[in-house]
């Protein structure tokens, strides 16, 4: 079953009367449980695409269906609920509250959920345990390393048991060792829990964790490949 369907999606930004196309007729579908990497150089349109898929922005053309409904079928209230319940987000900059504990950071999305408050601590502790940070649960996020911060962000993204996890350059601010730990966790979410993962990256070693790669350039998808050998992404990207 396709959780995401995109047909001729377009996005054009207008600034002082100047139009700048960011997406030019993008089409694809993503099934439940897929692990997809969208790879491309800076300015290729991959982050714009993620923003549209995550309901963080609206397209200027084409059609986007999430869970069988187009974005126009959702009210503003429904979009907020979908983003909270069905989508989890991991960003390059972590987006944690600095003087707040790991537990409180992970708990944040539950404030806007229907989950009874009596279950918040239990759910948050389980999510933190899943990323191997139980020993840091009462530390403030400002006391954590970059890799630990990203693992907190992953736990927070999981807290509402989302159907889809959007990861935007999740290793971009990390050293290679921390980045590998983060990618191993994300890969386990796909393989062991059946999560749908959409990864945005310019790093070939990161993209190679995925099952499918969409290679973008100049606002278009140049190619879409199921990964049978791990050298595809590097060979394509270094053309």
At 43-87, the pLDDT tens digits run 999 999 999 999 999 999 999 999 999 988 999 899 999 999 999
DSSP-based three-state secondary structure for 105? helix
Please give the pLDDT value at position 22: 95
Strand 35-39 relative to strand 164-168: parallel, antiparallel, unpaired? unpaired
188: tokens are 């386990």
Q: Rounded CA gap, 87 and 84, in Å?
A: 6
Predicted pLDDT at 27:
96
Alpha helix stretches (DSSP H) within 135-203: 146-158, 176-191
Q: Which residues contact 116 (CB under 8 A, 6 or more apart)?
A: none
pLDDT score at 228: 58
* CA-closest candidate to residue 124, choices 158, 147, 90, 164: 158
53 CA to centre of own chain = 9
- Contact between 238 and 213 (Cβ < 8 Å): no
For 194, phi and psi rounded to 5 degrees?
70, 25
Q: What is the pTM of this model?
A: 0.88
Q: Which pLDDT does position 238 carry in this prediction?
A: 40
pLDDT of residue 3: 94
Which residue, among 171, 168, 121, 166, has the nearest Cα to 151 in the 3D structure?
171
Cα–Cα dist 114/35, whole Å: 28
Position 239 scores a pLDDT of 40
Token code pair at residue 23 = 């997406």
Residues lower than pLDDT 50 in the chain: 229-239
Locate tokens 């054009």: which residue?
A: 12
Q: How far apart are CA 14 and CA 104, in angstroms?
A: 39
pLDDT number for residue 13: 94
Tell the burial category of 210 from Cβ atoms under 10 Å away from its Cβ (0-12, 13-18, 19+): buried
| Cα gap 214→28, rounded to integer Å | 9
Q: What is the pLDDT of residue 233?
A: 40
Condensed to tens digits (0 to 9), the pLDDT of residues 175-185 reads 989 999 999 99
The set of residues, in sequence order, having a beta carbon less than 8 Å from that of 135 and lying 6+ positions away, is: none
């Amino acid at each position: 079953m396709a959780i995401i369907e995109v047909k001729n999606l377009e996005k054009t930004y207008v600034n002082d009367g100047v139009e700048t196309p960011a997406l030019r007729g993008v089409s694809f579908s993503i099934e439940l449980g897929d692990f997809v990497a969208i790879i491309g150089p800076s300015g290729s349109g991959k982050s714009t695409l993620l923003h549209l898929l995550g309901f963080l922005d609206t397209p200027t053309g084409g059609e986007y269906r999430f869970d069988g409904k187009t974005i126009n079928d959702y009210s503003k209230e429904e979009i907020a609920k979908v983003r909270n319940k069905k989508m989890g987000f991991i960003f390059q900059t972590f987006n944690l509250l600095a003087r707040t504990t790991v537990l409180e950071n992970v708990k944040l999305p539950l404030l806007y959920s229907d989950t009874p408050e009596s279950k918040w601590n239990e759910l948050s502790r389980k999510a933190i345990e899943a990323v191997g940070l139980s020993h840091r649960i009462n530390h403030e996020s400002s006391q954590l390393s970059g890799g630990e911060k990203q693992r907190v962000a992953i736990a927070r993204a999981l807290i509402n048991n989302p159907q889809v996890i959007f990861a935007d350059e999740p290793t971009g601010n990390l050293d290679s060792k921390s980045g590998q730990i983060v990618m191993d966790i994300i890969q386990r979410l796909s393989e062991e829990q059946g999560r749908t993962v959409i990864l945005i990256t310019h790093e070939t070693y990161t993209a190679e964790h995925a099952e499918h790669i969409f290679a973008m350039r100049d606002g278009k998808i140049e190619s879409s490949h199921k990964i049978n050998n791990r050298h595809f992404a590097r060979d394509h990207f270094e053309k």
